[in-house]
Structure 1
Amino acid sequence: MLAAGMSERMGVPKMLLKYKGKSLVRNVIQASLSSELDGAVVVINSEIDGLLQEAMVPGVSKVFLNSCPGDGLSSSVKAGLCVLPAEAEAVIFLLGDQPLITEDEINRLIDEYAKGEYPYIYQSMYHGEIGHPVLFPRKMFSHLLNVRGDKGGRAVMKQYPRSVKYVEMDKEYPFDIDTMKDYKNLLRKEVS
């Protein structure tokens, strides 16, 4: 899980904002722990007070402190890949600012991957809109490690478009919480 952003548009450490009684990042961690994933690695911004405590919960395999979050998304992607167990066949990237992601979306990607069919990258789709989570098999790790700056897996998917299979999730897009307006929209969903 990638949770090392700078929260520049939000103006406050968004990963710690509350939704359904838990921080945004804790909601996503809970979804991953409730899924069929074999483990959970969380990459966090080392400069955000309290984030380490939010990420260190029973069931999380590793928490990596990204001391260079200003280097962009690629620094978190690489950090997460480097601390995966050697036997990991694949990785699913989740975003810590998407608390509407559930174990259902994660499990659907795992089920598609388990079929063992080509293509190799499985990307979530929500009524035609692409998003997270995204599953990359080990075969693509070297390509992810070559990404630079504020780019993540999207750069690899652009490079290998025929290796991407879109997996329809049959639900509304689980938007990112990037601004205070996004957060207020999320809170409205909580009470509706």
Structure 2
Amino acid sequence: MRKASVAIVILAAGKASRMGEGGKHKLLAKFDGVPLVRRSALTALGADAASVIVVTGHRRSEIEAALDGLDLTFIDNPDYASGMASSLIVGFSSGDADSAEGILVMLADMPGVSTTHLDALISAFRNAGGKAVVRAVSQGKPGNPVILPRSLTQAVLRLRGDVGARAIIATSGLPVLDVDVGDAALLDVDTPDEVLAAGGAMN
């Protein structure tokens, strides 16, 4: 049986407003010597997905430079300041996402997420025949990443503001499969202190 194809959309457009003054960008913070956004992209490229799309916006040229040489599709979101919904819409509207049966939405600021975690989510999605929402959880608490079946694209395109996929999942009418990936599902880094606590170094 053919396996349902999955495209990964990495959201890397946000403004990181909680990083404070001084112009530091959390996605360029180094983890094991690698900028966080590149680490996230390498994690995604290692997974069993058809393509990896990176949505850029804030400080786009620096983000693209940090991802130089990787086999990614970049999509710029000129409307990134309006919130996460606009980046989801841009990602879902791309040709790569449109041809996949599932779109795995990954936040670029989650250093704990591994390729093994992504493959566990993709595997659960395929086992459900591509007809279920799959989300990473930690001890039952919903987190990220999530996989949305392509049937939810129209609902994504209607999102507005700084909202993610959670509202859609609640009203989708589709089965929701939870995959426990431990603390990684909830660990994102929004402040310099959180970057340091997670093992990162600010440039």
Q: How high is the TM-score relative to the length of structure 2?
A: 0.85
Change (3 A) 1:130 1:57: farther
Which residue identity lines up with residue 82 of structure 1 in the other structure? S
Structure 1 residue ranges, 4+ long, deviating more than 4 angstroms after superposition:
none
Greater relative CO, 1 or 2 (CA 8 Å, sep 6+): 2
Which residue identity lines up with residue 133 of structure 2 in the other structure? I
The alpha-carbon deviation at position 51 of structure 1 amounts to: 1.0
- Other-structure match for 2:6: none
Verify: 1:6 aligned to 2:18, yes or no: no
Distance 1:92 1:118 in 2: 12
- Other-structure match for 1:140: 152
- The answer on whether the counterparts of 1:119 and 1:164 sit within 8 Å (CA) in structure 2 is no
Change (3 A) 1:63 1:118: closer
Q: Which runs of 5+ in 2 are unaligned?
A: 1-9
SS in 1 for 2:179: strand
Which residue identity lines up with residue 122 of structure 1 in the other structure? V
- The answer on whether the counterparts of 1:41 and 1:64 sit within 8 Å (CA) in structure 2 is yes
- Other-structure match for 1:82: 93
Change (3 A) 1:118 1:14: closer
SS in 1 for 2:137: strand
Distance 1:118 1:2 in 2: 22
- The answer on whether the counterparts of 1:119 and 1:165 sit within 8 Å (CA) in structure 2 is no
Verify: 1:106 aligned to 2:106, yes or no: no
- The answer on whether the counterparts of 2:133 and 2:149 sit within 8 Å (CA) in structure 1 is yes
Distance 1:172 1:25 in 2: 19
The alpha-carbon deviation at position 46 of structure 1 amounts to: 4.6
Verify: 1:185 aligned to 2:197, yes or no: yes
- CA RMSD across the alignment: 2.0
- The answer on whether the counterparts of 2:54 and 2:75 sit within 8 Å (CA) in structure 1 is yes
Distance 1:47 1:2 in 2: 13
Verify: 1:38 aligned to 2:47, yes or no: no
The alpha-carbon deviation at position 112 of structure 1 amounts to: 0.7
Distance 2:166 2:121 in 1: 17
Q: Which runs of 5+ in 1 are unaligned?
A: none
The alpha-carbon deviation at position 120 of structure 1 amounts to: 1.6
Task: Give the fraction of aligned pairs with identical amino acids, expressed as a percent.
Answer: 25
Distance 2:127 2:174 in 1: 18
- Other-structure match for 2:138: 126
Change (3 A) 1:66 1:14: same
- Other-structure match for 2:3: none
Q: How high is the TM-score relative to the length of structure 1?
A: 0.89
Change (3 A) 1:138 1:56: farther
Which residue identity lines up with residue 9 of structure 1 in the other structure? R
